[in-house]
Each structure stands twice: as C-alpha cells, then as structure tokens.
Amino acid sequence: MPAKRYKLITTLLVIAASIAALFVWLGREKPVDVIVKKVDVGRVQETVANTRAGTIKACRRAGISPAIGGQISRLPVKEGDLVETDQVLMELWNEDVMSQHELATSEARAAVALANQACVLAEVAQRESERQQKLKKKKLSSEEAVDRADGEARAQKAACNAAKATAQVSKARLNVIQAELDRTRLVAPFSGVVAEVNGEIGEFVTPSPVGIPTPPAVDLMDTSCVYVSAPIDEVDAPRIRVDMKANISLDALSDELFSGRVKRIAPYVLEIEKQARTVDVEVDFVCPDDCLNMLPGYSADVEVILDEQDDVLRVPTEAVLEGNKVLVFTADNRLEQHEIRTGLNNWEWTQVIEGLSEGDEVVVSVEREGVEDGVLARRDTDE
C-alpha cells in the first residue's frame, strides 16, 4: 500500500475515533446537584398553627371617655405615659361644679356644728330632768318643775335628732355634687400605658351616641400582661385543649422562639367572607423575664403542640414526598427512592418509624429539575 494512501486512512480513522469519543462524552450521564441532610435522632412535635397572623394583645385594655360632654381644661398625660390606678387622665371645665362643691362642703360643716350644739343642749336638758326627778323624791322640787324639765329634755333631744338629720342631708347633697365633679374627671381604672389621646386643651368632647361608636378620649392598656390571639382553622380547632403547650414566634423578634400555653378557645367559629372559617385561640406567654419587651400589636404565629416525643428517628419534613417517600443519596452517588412509615410531624421534622437508619442522607431539594429515583447525583457544596 502506498505510504500516502496509508497516511490518509490513518488520519480518517483518528478523526472517526475522535468523533465517536466526542459523541460518547456528550451523551454521558450528567449528575444532578442536590442538597442532602442526614437522618438523625431528636425531638419531634405534632402541631397545628394559625391560618393567618395572630396579634399580641394586652390582658387589660380600655378605651375610656368622660361620662358627660364638655371642654377639656386639663390634660396631664400624653401618649406613652405610665399611669397609676385612679390617676387623672383628663379634666373638663368644672369651675361651676367646684364652686357648688365648696358651698356644699361649708354647709355640711355648718350642719355638723349645729348638730353638735343641739346635742350638747340635749345632754344638759336630760341631766337637768334627772336632777329634778331626784329632788322630787326628796320633796325638794315641785311636780311642775319636774314636768317642765322633762319636756325640755325631750324637746332638746328631738332638736338634736333633727340637727343630725339635717347634717346627713347636707352630706348627701355634698356627695351628689362630688359625683357631678367626678363625672368631669377621667381617671385610670387600672395602672398601665397611655396608648392614645384624642383631644387637646380647649377642645370639646361628647359621649358616643347610642349605636354610633366614636374614638375614645384615652386608650389605656396594661402592658405588664400580654397574650397572643390567633385564628386556627376550624378543622384543627377540635384537637386543641386548654393548657396545651405552644410555641410562639414574632416577626419583630425573628431569631427567638417563645414558650406559651393555651388559656382560652373561643366557643364559636368566625365566618369571614372569602376566608376560611376559624376559631380564635388565646395563648399566654410562659416567660416572665423574656416577655418584658413584648408590645401589644406585634404580629405573632403560634404552634399548638398536640403531641411530642424525644429521641426518635427524624428527617426534615421538606424531604418527604407524596406517599411518604424519600430520595436517599447512596454510596454510588445515585438517588434511590425509599418508602417510609411516619409518626409525628410538623413543618420542620417528621418522625421515621420504618424505612431509614440514622446517618442516611436524604434529599431536601426535591423541587429541583431532574431530581428523581435512579439518577446520578452529587452533593451541592454551595449550600
């Protein structure tokens, strides 16, 4: 064979081999990147959570207004102030009532003084009557003098009783005016924080008409005691009981998880248009030291713990596929589907009763394209 022809054939064979190798390389199976987590042992809780964001509320909160209308003459508090029980929050113009109160106070004092005077005279007259009785027994006083002394004693006693009654009337009149004066002053029914003040000095306030709600003059809340009110789906509500433990999470304090306890379950279902029917559940914080910075109005989520077990085999719930199946990352870098029997579960962990062993690696990135049973895979080191 001529050397030139031999060289051509060799070149063609090399090219053909290279093309074949290229097709083999292009057609090779490419591994799928997956995120895996190890099966471990720990605590698993079965929980139910609220369907919409709950709200932190103060145990005591009152929107209060004066019992009568009038012009604001004194406003000794402002929003954010801490107040004590019976502290004056707002006072209406009341100079006329205060004048009546001063007059009634003076009249009451005068009535008491007159009653004391009448009763002293009654005591003197009674002693004189008794003295005349003794003198009569000794034949030293006449019947007329005894009768006159006895009549005087009874008259003075009646005058004493009348004066006491007048003093009581004056006291009652003073109490009436005091009540009128109290109606012009808005006082704190409990210790707390002034959340809102609607009104300024010189403005007029009026009581709410019947059936027409108006903003309160002062919104007062007791922040020393707070709880979470959260809506639970009607399907989950029958499983909840008072005193069940709960986990509380706040958007404002996203790095912390607080302990709670169910204190109340509403005895009715809320039906809100275009939303699921829910039952309001109230959860107390069980953290006397950690709850000092809780502010009413914070959004909060609750998970009521229906059951929990410690030291059980568990996998991340995100790894569990429909039909209680998981994808296991095998030693030969392939994904192998396993069916498992599960126990308790929540959004974070699922208990494994059968089908896996501690240390197995399961895929949690099950939503990625190409992740399925039997494919070649590799661990995603970027996660």
CATH number at residue 73: 2.40.50.100
Determine the structural domain holding residue 205 and report its residue range.
66-93+189-215
CB 55 within 8 A of CB 228: yes
pTM: 0.64
pLDDT at 292: 66
Residue 3 lies in a domain: no
Residue 135 lies in a domain: yes
Query: Counting beta carbons within 10 angstroms of the beta carbon of residue 238, is it exposed (0 to 12), middle (13 to 18) or buried (19 or more)?
Result: exposed
pLDDT at 26: 47
Residue 262 lies in a domain: yes
- What CATH number is given to the structural domain containing 338? 2.40.420.20
How many domains in the chain?
A: 4
Distance CA 183, CA 198 (A): 18
Whether 89 and 193 map to the same domain: the answer is: yes
Whether 74 and 194 map to the same domain: the answer is: yes
Distance CA 125, CA 156 (A): 7
Residue 196 lies in a domain: yes
Residue 108 lies in a domain: yes
pLDDT at 24: 46
With a cut of 50, which residues of the chain have pLDDT below it? 24-27
pLDDT at 144: 87
Whether 168 and 211 map to the same domain: the answer is: no
Whether 300 and 365 map to the same domain: the answer is: no
